[in-house]
Amino acid sequence: MKNARFSFKRLSTDQLQCLSGSYQIEVSVAGFWSNPITIRMRREYDAPVWHIEVSHSSGGFEATEDSMQSNENFALAYLAAINYARELQSEESSKMLEDAYQSYYQRMLEHEKARKATKA
């Protein structure tokens, strides 16, 4: 999602191919030199349960920017991040995340098996 006030990248097919149990999406906000908002996805180690969280830092404010505008940008970006996180928590998205994780895990097992076979 991108506009003049903030931007972040929704999960792409390429990113899903590398989903190893945790992932984060950084949100950039106009008026901040850092990426002050992060959407985090984390899978339970021993269960197909995904935790989706939105967090923020308080730093990174650009001193040269209009503080009211920067804070308004931050508020809009935070709301957009929350809405996307809720979308990721849906049953359909949870299934997509778990399918991507299982596919990644299977590829890693096959890779490890092939590596061991070449050493033997």
Residue count of the chain, please give it: 120
Q: What is the domain partition of the chain in residue ranges? A: 6-119
pLDDT over threshold 80, residue 58: no
Helical (H) or strand (E) element with 61 = none
pLDDT at 20: 85
Amino acid at 17: Q
pLDDT at 34: 85
Give tens-digit pLDDT for 32-56: 888 899 999 999 988 889 999 999 9
Percent of the chain with pLDDT over 90: 53
**Helix, strand or coil, per DSSP, at residue 24:** strand
Residue 38's nearest CA partner among 9, 2, 61 is 9
Residue 3 pLDDT level (bands cut at 50, 70, 90) = confident
**CB contact at 8 A, 56 and 34:** no
Average pLDDT over residues 69-90: 94
> Token pair for residue 31?
């008026």
User: Where do the H-state alpha helices sit in the chain?
Assistant: 13-17, 67-88, 91-119
**Cα(96)–Cα(118) distance, integer angstroms:** 33
Average pLDDT over residues 78-83: 96
Which residues lie below 8 Å from residue 64, measured CB to CB, with a gap of 6+? none
Residue 81's nearest CA partner among 53, 59, 107 is 53
pTM of the model: 0.84
pLDDT at 14: 82
pLDDT at 92: 92
